[in-house]
Structure 1
Amino acid sequence: MFEILTVCTGNICRSPLAAQLLQSRLADFAPRVLSAGTRGLTDTPMTAEAAHLAAHYGVAADLSSAHRSRWLREGDLDSPDLILAMTREHRREVAELAPARLRSTFTIREFARLAEGLSDDEIRAHADSAGADAAARVRAVAGAVGARRGMVEPVADPADDDVVDPYRRSWETYVRSADQLVPAVDGVVRTLRVALATT
């Protein structure tokens, strides 16, 4: 088993949607996918808009309805093999809580952008170097993706590595947020599927 943590602010829009999409799309690998917020709300359900988007993208209704927001704590950062923040600010807050986890922490759009430059063969080679354990394979590939941070051209606008916060904003903003998030989820899923395929 491997573990992914997604992080946003209030843990009612972006990070639970990302977690549920990852859980659904990687279900055959039985991952543990959790989410948390850096501040704001506690024990609150997803917004109706975020739950609607989850259903639209194929998440089972019981997964969305069961969600309750929670605060990010330092202990939450010990076990995840990959930590995916929704913005650079969230990534910074994770790094402040657990500096040793920086190598495994990305904004979700940053991870997808950096991983896109790795071929399937390269991903497999990094994963194979870690052996058969799923968690070790994910950590090895996260390390390989992280190593590309200084090797590729940065995005022209740093905000392009963020997912916009739709909370208390228009439906159009929710759609724009999902339009940024879902392709990044797809990039993460593609990378991890290659890493975890051991046959």
Structure 2
Amino acid sequence: MARAFPGQLDAAGASAFTSRTHPPSIVADMPLPSQRTVAARDRSSFSILTVCTGNICRSPQAEHLLRLRFDTAFGAQAADVVVVGSAGTLGYDGQRIDEQARAEAERLGALHAAGHRARRLRPDFIERADLILGMSREHRGAAASMLPSANRRAFALVEFARVLEALAQGRVDVGIGLDRSGLAPFMHSVVEAAATARGLVAPPHSRVEDDIIDPYRLSADVYRQSADAVQLWVGRTMQALTTLAGQPFPDGAGSQSRLP
């Protein structure tokens, strides 16, 4: 299956971690990325980093569901080239996933979520990630503020899904051809196209529609609502990706480009 992000802690690797929290100047309403040229990235693999606040509810759910959906959509090729991990802007290294969040993840099919251990977001995690997906605009902004060079690779999950759907449906044309020579090059080209298309896609009626609610210490109904939102937007992201992919990629024995 799609692999865990390098350095993701497990039960054996948990450690205490304390550091200064992000300053209050990190806000959701960051300027959209510039169009400046950035250094080329290694296109032989593709890594995704999901980000929330504590890394014990939303982002581990998104991490595990993305891994599952990539395996379903792209089969053996995803296991070879796609790496998925998560971190939290205010997380404590080694903390276990919230029990209610774990139960919701397992309900949605993420059967290995119990082994998750939290990580505090760090610049090197962001640097290694080819795509950063915040569970809210605040988390996207925190990642881009910590490492400004990652601005074009940072999205809110809901935002990313909306942009990919616009690309898949032909509602925007950014003039960037999608590289179909393999899954990893394809994903890199998708992120490049999404970064360019972001400003061309109509925003939601309210900016909070790009945020997935934080369920921590709220009611069971809110945990269910939050987890269902994570599943919905992961699913819409993957459906748009499979539409954009079109045909199976070469050299991916047993892989499929469309969801069953």
If the length of structure 2 is used for normalisation, what is the TM-score? 0.69
Name the structure 2 match of 1:150.
199
Deviation at 1:133, TM superposition (A): 4.5
Look up the equivalent residue of 2:66 and give its one-letter code.
L
Corresponding residue number in structure 1 for 2:58 = 14
Q: Is the 8 A contact 2:54 2:91 kept in 1?
A: yes
Give SS of 1:90's match: helix
Q: Work out which of the two has the higher radius of gyration on C-alpha atoms and give 1 or 2.
A: 2
Give 1:35's aligned amino acid: S
**CA offset digits 1:63-113 (Å, max 9, x no partner):** 212100010100001222211001111111101111111111100000011
Q: How far apart, CA to CA, are the structure 1 residues paired with 2:126 and 2:89?
A: 12
Which residue of the partner structure matches residue 225 of structure 2? 176
2:124 to 63, 75, 88: 75
Tell me the TM-score normalised to structure 1 length. 0.89
Identity of aligned residues (%): 38
Q: Distance in 2 between matches of 1:134 and 1:98?
A: 26
Greater per-residue helix proportion: 1
Which residue does 2:28 correspond to in 1?
A: none
The match for 2:145 is: 96
1:42 Cα offset (Å)? 2.5
Question: Aligned-residue CA RMSD in angstroms?
Answer: 2.0
Query: What residue is the counterpart of 2:47 in the other structure?
Result: 3
**Structure 2: stretches of 5+ with no match in the other structure:** 1-44, 251-260
How far apart, CA to CA, are the structure 2 residues paired with 1:54 and 1:185? 13
SS in 2 for 1:116: helix
Residues paired across the two proteins, number: 194
| Matched AA of 1:19 | E
Q: Which residue of 2 aligns with 1:162?
A: 211
Deviations 1:17-56 (A, max 9, x none): 0000001111221121000001133211111111111111
1:106 equivalent in structure 2 = 155
Which range is displaced more, 113-122 or 41-50?
113-122
The CA deviation at 1:194 is 4.5
Alpha-carbon distance, 1:146 to partner? 2.1
In 2: Cα distance, 1:110 partner to 1:179 partner: 17
Confirm or deny: 8 A CA contact 2:156 2:211 kept in the other structure.
Answer: yes
